[in-house]
Amino acid sequence: MSAPFGRIAELFLLRDAERRAGAVGEESRSAVARVLSRARQKRLAAEALWVSGSPAEALHLLREAVTILRAFDGDDAPVAEVPELDADVRSEHGDLYRALLGELDRRADARLPEEVGPAAIRAMRVQRIALSALVGVGTIVALVLLARAPKKLEASASGRYDGAHEVQKAIDGKDDTEWLLPDRSAGWIEVAVTPARKVNRVKVTNARNLPWHDRGAHEIRVEASYKGSVVKEHDDKLPFTSDLVSRHYDVGAKIDRVKVDVRSYHGTGGGLAEVSVE
Protein backbone atom coordinates (compact mmCIF):
# COMPACT_ATOMS: atom_id res chain seq x y z
CA MET A 1 0.00 0.00 0.00
CA SER A 2 1.45 3.39 -1.01
CA ALA A 3 2.18 5.90 1.73
CA PRO A 4 -0.42 8.51 0.61
CA PHE A 5 -3.14 5.85 0.27
CA GLY A 6 -2.17 4.40 3.63
CA ARG A 7 -2.51 7.78 5.32
CA ILE A 8 -5.93 8.30 3.76
CA ALA A 9 -7.07 4.82 4.81
CA GLU A 10 -5.85 5.42 8.37
CA LEU A 11 -7.73 8.73 8.48
CA PHE A 12 -11.01 6.85 8.05
CA LEU A 13 -10.36 3.33 9.32
CA LEU A 14 -8.15 4.26 12.32
CA ARG A 15 -6.69 0.76 12.45
CA ASP A 16 -3.31 1.91 13.72
CA ALA A 17 -5.01 4.16 16.25
CA GLU A 18 -7.13 1.26 17.52
CA ARG A 19 -4.06 -0.96 17.80
CA ARG A 20 -2.20 1.70 19.78
CA ALA A 21 -5.21 2.29 22.00
CA GLY A 22 -5.47 -1.42 22.78
CA ALA A 23 -1.80 -1.61 23.74
CA VAL A 24 -2.19 0.96 26.54
CA GLY A 25 -3.11 -0.20 30.03
CA GLU A 26 -5.64 1.62 32.17
CA GLU A 27 -2.99 3.10 34.46
CA SER A 28 -1.04 4.52 31.53
CA ARG A 29 -4.25 5.73 29.91
CA SER A 30 -5.15 7.61 33.06
CA ALA A 31 -1.71 9.25 33.13
CA VAL A 32 -2.00 10.33 29.49
CA ALA A 33 -5.49 11.72 30.07
CA ARG A 34 -4.27 13.71 33.06
CA VAL A 35 -1.37 15.28 31.15
CA LEU A 36 -3.58 16.17 28.19
CA SER A 37 -6.22 17.63 30.50
CA ARG A 38 -3.64 19.90 32.12
CA ALA A 39 -2.47 21.12 28.72
CA ARG A 40 -6.04 21.68 27.49
CA GLN A 41 -6.93 23.52 30.67
CA LYS A 42 -4.08 25.96 30.12
CA ARG A 43 -5.03 26.31 26.46
CA LEU A 44 -8.63 27.23 27.27
CA ALA A 45 -7.48 29.81 29.81
CA ALA A 46 -4.98 31.20 27.29
CA GLU A 47 -7.65 31.62 24.62
CA ALA A 48 -9.92 33.44 27.08
CA LEU A 49 -7.10 35.78 28.11
CA TRP A 50 -6.09 36.44 24.50
CA VAL A 51 -9.55 37.60 23.41
CA SER A 52 -10.06 39.61 26.60
CA GLY A 53 -6.96 41.72 25.98
CA SER A 54 -4.31 40.01 28.12
CA PRO A 55 -2.00 38.58 25.42
CA ALA A 56 1.15 38.27 27.54
CA GLU A 57 -0.50 36.00 30.11
CA ALA A 58 -2.12 34.03 27.29
CA LEU A 59 1.28 33.39 25.72
CA HIS A 60 2.74 32.33 29.05
CA LEU A 61 -0.02 29.76 29.56
CA LEU A 62 0.41 28.40 26.04
CA ARG A 63 4.15 28.16 26.55
CA GLU A 64 3.56 26.18 29.75
CA ALA A 65 1.10 23.87 27.98
CA VAL A 66 3.52 23.16 25.13
CA THR A 67 6.34 22.57 27.63
CA ILE A 68 4.19 19.98 29.43
CA LEU A 69 3.45 18.04 26.23
CA ARG A 70 7.01 18.25 24.95
CA ALA A 71 8.32 16.85 28.22
CA PHE A 72 5.74 14.05 28.12
CA ASP A 73 6.85 13.21 24.57
CA GLY A 74 10.52 13.21 25.61
CA ASP A 75 11.23 16.36 23.61
CA ASP A 76 13.56 18.63 25.58
CA ALA A 77 13.74 21.40 22.95
CA PRO A 78 13.13 24.78 24.61
CA VAL A 79 9.93 26.65 23.81
CA ALA A 80 10.25 30.18 22.41
CA GLU A 81 10.43 32.99 24.94
CA VAL A 82 7.34 35.15 25.38
CA PRO A 83 6.98 38.78 26.60
CA GLU A 84 6.40 39.49 30.28
CA LEU A 85 4.05 42.44 29.82
CA ASP A 86 1.14 43.18 27.49
CA ALA A 87 2.91 46.37 26.43
CA ASP A 88 5.75 44.24 25.02
CA VAL A 89 3.51 42.14 22.77
CA ARG A 90 4.12 42.82 19.07
CA SER A 91 2.45 41.68 15.85
CA GLU A 92 4.91 38.79 15.48
CA HIS A 93 3.66 37.38 18.78
CA GLY A 94 0.34 36.72 17.04
CA ASP A 95 2.20 34.28 14.80
CA LEU A 96 3.77 32.68 17.86
CA TYR A 97 0.35 32.38 19.50
CA ARG A 98 -1.02 30.50 16.48
CA ALA A 99 2.10 28.34 16.24
CA LEU A 100 1.82 27.27 19.88
CA LEU A 101 -1.86 26.43 19.42
CA GLY A 102 -0.99 24.35 16.37
CA GLU A 103 1.70 22.44 18.23
CA LEU A 104 -0.68 21.72 21.09
CA ASP A 105 -3.23 20.32 18.66
CA ARG A 106 -0.70 18.12 16.88
CA ARG A 107 0.74 16.65 20.06
CA ALA A 108 -2.68 16.10 21.64
CA ASP A 109 -4.03 14.42 18.48
CA ALA A 110 -1.02 12.11 18.37
CA ARG A 111 -1.78 10.98 21.94
CA LEU A 112 -5.53 10.61 21.42
CA PRO A 113 -5.54 6.78 20.96
CA GLU A 114 -3.70 6.39 24.26
CA GLU A 115 -6.22 8.63 26.00
CA VAL A 116 -9.62 7.37 24.87
CA GLY A 117 -9.31 3.59 24.40
CA PRO A 118 -10.30 1.14 21.61
CA ALA A 119 -14.07 1.53 22.01
CA ALA A 120 -13.91 5.28 21.47
CA ILE A 121 -11.67 4.80 18.42
CA ARG A 122 -14.18 2.37 16.91
CA ALA A 123 -16.97 4.89 17.49
CA MET A 124 -14.88 7.56 15.75
CA ARG A 125 -14.36 5.20 12.80
CA VAL A 126 -18.11 4.74 12.38
CA GLN A 127 -18.66 8.50 12.56
CA ARG A 128 -15.98 9.27 9.97
CA ILE A 129 -17.16 6.63 7.52
CA ALA A 130 -20.76 7.77 7.90
CA LEU A 131 -19.76 11.40 7.42
CA SER A 132 -17.68 10.62 4.33
CA ALA A 133 -20.59 8.64 2.87
CA LEU A 134 -22.92 11.55 3.54
CA VAL A 135 -20.52 13.99 1.90
CA GLY A 136 -20.16 11.63 -1.07
CA VAL A 137 -23.91 11.39 -1.55
CA GLY A 138 -24.23 15.15 -1.22
CA THR A 139 -21.54 15.68 -3.84
CA ILE A 140 -23.25 13.31 -6.27
CA VAL A 141 -26.59 15.06 -5.75
CA ALA A 142 -24.97 18.45 -6.30
CA LEU A 143 -23.31 17.27 -9.52
CA VAL A 144 -26.58 15.82 -10.80
CA LEU A 145 -28.44 19.04 -10.04
CA LEU A 146 -25.70 21.06 -11.72
CA ALA A 147 -25.85 18.84 -14.79
CA ARG A 148 -29.61 19.31 -14.92
CA ALA A 149 -29.44 23.06 -14.41
CA PRO A 150 -31.07 24.74 -17.42
CA LYS A 151 -28.64 26.40 -19.77
CA LYS A 152 -29.77 29.88 -20.63
CA LEU A 153 -28.64 33.18 -22.05
CA GLU A 154 -29.58 36.59 -20.66
CA ALA A 155 -28.86 39.78 -22.55
CA SER A 156 -28.41 43.46 -21.80
CA ALA A 157 -27.49 46.28 -24.16
CA SER A 158 -26.46 49.91 -24.36
CA GLY A 159 -29.76 50.83 -26.00
CA ARG A 160 -32.50 49.87 -28.46
CA TYR A 161 -34.33 51.39 -31.41
CA ASP A 162 -37.83 50.57 -30.15
CA GLY A 163 -39.81 47.92 -28.28
CA ALA A 164 -40.09 45.71 -31.34
CA HIS A 165 -36.30 45.49 -31.56
CA GLU A 166 -35.34 44.97 -27.92
CA VAL A 167 -32.18 43.15 -26.83
CA GLN A 168 -33.98 39.82 -26.24
CA LYS A 169 -34.52 39.55 -29.99
CA ALA A 170 -30.79 38.82 -30.34
CA ILE A 171 -30.93 35.67 -28.19
CA ASP A 172 -34.30 34.18 -29.17
CA GLY A 173 -32.82 31.74 -31.70
CA LYS A 174 -34.56 33.43 -34.65
CA ASP A 175 -32.63 35.08 -37.46
CA ASP A 176 -35.67 37.07 -38.61
CA THR A 177 -35.97 39.00 -35.33
CA GLU A 178 -33.36 41.64 -34.56
CA TRP A 179 -31.95 43.87 -31.88
CA LEU A 180 -31.45 47.34 -33.35
CA LEU A 181 -29.64 50.33 -31.89
CA PRO A 182 -31.03 53.87 -32.00
CA ASP A 183 -30.55 55.93 -35.18
CA ARG A 184 -26.97 56.82 -36.04
CA SER A 185 -25.71 54.99 -32.99
CA ALA A 186 -23.05 52.44 -32.17
CA GLY A 187 -23.30 50.43 -28.94
CA TRP A 188 -22.94 47.01 -27.36
CA ILE A 189 -24.77 43.87 -26.36
CA GLU A 190 -23.67 41.64 -23.47
CA VAL A 191 -24.88 38.06 -23.09
CA ALA A 192 -24.60 36.23 -19.76
CA VAL A 193 -23.95 32.49 -20.16
CA THR A 194 -25.62 30.54 -17.32
CA PRO A 195 -24.25 28.30 -15.97
CA ALA A 196 -20.68 29.12 -16.92
CA ARG A 197 -19.42 26.43 -19.26
CA LYS A 198 -16.90 25.59 -21.95
CA VAL A 199 -17.87 27.20 -25.24
CA ASN A 200 -16.24 26.18 -28.51
CA ARG A 201 -17.30 29.23 -30.46
CA VAL A 202 -19.58 32.25 -30.57
CA LYS A 203 -21.92 32.80 -33.50
CA VAL A 204 -22.87 36.35 -34.49
CA THR A 205 -25.52 37.07 -37.14
CA ASN A 206 -25.79 40.60 -38.52
CA ALA A 207 -29.00 42.62 -38.68
CA ARG A 208 -30.57 43.72 -41.99
CA ASN A 209 -33.85 45.35 -41.00
CA LEU A 210 -35.70 43.93 -43.98
CA PRO A 211 -37.45 44.90 -46.14
CA TRP A 212 -35.76 48.28 -45.85
CA HIS A 213 -32.21 46.93 -45.57
CA ASP A 214 -30.98 50.11 -43.93
CA ARG A 215 -29.24 48.92 -40.73
CA GLY A 216 -26.51 46.57 -39.59
CA ALA A 217 -23.25 46.28 -37.67
CA HIS A 218 -20.01 47.06 -39.50
CA GLU A 219 -16.94 46.98 -37.23
CA ILE A 220 -17.38 44.74 -34.20
CA ARG A 221 -15.31 43.34 -31.36
CA VAL A 222 -16.35 40.02 -29.81
CA GLU A 223 -15.12 39.38 -26.25
CA ALA A 224 -15.61 36.10 -24.39
CA SER A 225 -14.84 36.36 -20.67
CA TYR A 226 -14.87 34.43 -17.42
CA LYS A 227 -15.15 36.05 -13.99
CA GLY A 228 -14.32 39.46 -15.41
CA SER A 229 -11.26 38.42 -17.41
CA VAL A 230 -11.33 38.32 -21.21
CA VAL A 231 -10.23 34.87 -22.41
CA LYS A 232 -10.77 35.39 -26.15
CA GLU A 233 -11.15 38.47 -28.33
CA HIS A 234 -11.90 38.92 -32.04
CA ASP A 235 -12.15 42.05 -34.21
CA ASP A 236 -14.12 41.79 -37.44
CA LYS A 237 -15.92 43.74 -40.16
CA LEU A 238 -19.34 42.57 -41.30
CA PRO A 239 -20.50 43.28 -44.87
CA PHE A 240 -23.61 45.27 -45.80
CA THR A 241 -25.82 42.90 -47.78
CA SER A 242 -29.42 41.77 -47.94
CA ASP A 243 -28.22 38.18 -47.53
CA LEU A 244 -28.05 36.68 -44.05
CA VAL A 245 -24.47 36.97 -42.74
CA SER A 246 -23.28 34.85 -39.81
CA ARG A 247 -19.72 34.61 -38.48
CA HIS A 248 -18.20 32.13 -36.04
CA TYR A 249 -15.49 33.12 -33.56
CA ASP A 250 -13.40 30.47 -31.80
CA VAL A 251 -13.33 30.43 -27.99
CA GLY A 252 -12.45 26.94 -26.71
CA ALA A 253 -12.63 27.92 -23.03
CA LYS A 254 -14.98 28.15 -20.06
CA ILE A 255 -16.84 31.45 -20.13
CA ASP A 256 -19.73 33.18 -18.40
CA ARG A 257 -20.16 36.23 -20.63
CA VAL A 258 -20.02 37.33 -24.26
CA LYS A 259 -19.90 40.97 -25.29
CA VAL A 260 -20.25 42.24 -28.86
CA ASP A 261 -19.17 45.84 -29.21
CA VAL A 262 -20.71 47.42 -32.32
CA ARG A 263 -18.12 50.10 -33.06
CA SER A 264 -19.54 51.31 -36.37
CA TYR A 265 -22.61 50.61 -38.45
CA HIS A 266 -24.08 50.42 -41.94
CA GLY A 267 -26.97 52.63 -43.01
CA THR A 268 -28.80 54.47 -40.28
CA GLY A 269 -27.72 52.43 -37.24
CA GLY A 270 -26.22 49.27 -35.82
CA GLY A 271 -27.80 46.04 -34.70
CA LEU A 272 -27.56 42.24 -34.66
CA ALA A 273 -29.99 39.46 -35.45
CA GLU A 274 -28.49 36.83 -33.18
CA VAL A 275 -25.70 36.10 -30.69
CA SER A 276 -25.35 32.46 -29.62
CA VAL A 277 -22.79 30.09 -28.12
CA GLU A 278 -21.90 26.61 -29.37
Q: Are residues 116 and 169 in the same domain?
A: no
Name every residue whose Cβ is closer than 8 Å to that of residue 91 and which is 6 or more positions away in sequence.
Answer: none
Instruction: Report which of residues 128 and 5 the model is more confident about.
Output: 128
Name every residue whose Cβ is closer than 8 Å to that of residue 129 and which is 6 or more positions away in sequence.
Answer: 12
CATH number at residue 255: 2.60.120.260
Q: Are residues 71 and 193 in the same domain?
A: no
Model confidence, pTM: 0.51
Q: How many domains does the chain have?
A: 2
Cα–Cα dist 45/49, whole Å: 6
Cα–Cα dist 190/1, whole Å: 53
pLDDT tens-place string over residues 164-188: 999 999 999 999 999 999 999 889 9
Q: Are residues 224 and 271 in the same domain?
A: yes
CA dihedral sign of residues 80, 83, 84, 89: negative
Name every residue whose Cβ is closer than 8 Å to that of residue 113 and which is 6 or more positions away in sequence.
Answer: 17, 18, 20, 21, 24, 121
Q: Are residues 180 and 268 in the same domain?
A: yes
Q: Are residues 210 and 268 in the same domain?
A: yes
Q: Are residues 92 and 207 in the same domain?
A: no
pLDDT tens-place string over residues 56-90: 999 999 999 999 999 989 999 999 999 999 999 99
Instruction: Report which of residues 175 and 2 the model is more confident about.
Output: 175
Structural domain for 195, as ranges: 152-277
State residue 66's pLDDT score. Answer: 95
Q: Are 177 and 169 in contact (CB under 8 A)?
A: yes
- Asked which of 85-89, 128-132, 154-158 is least confident by mean pLDDT, the reply is 128-132
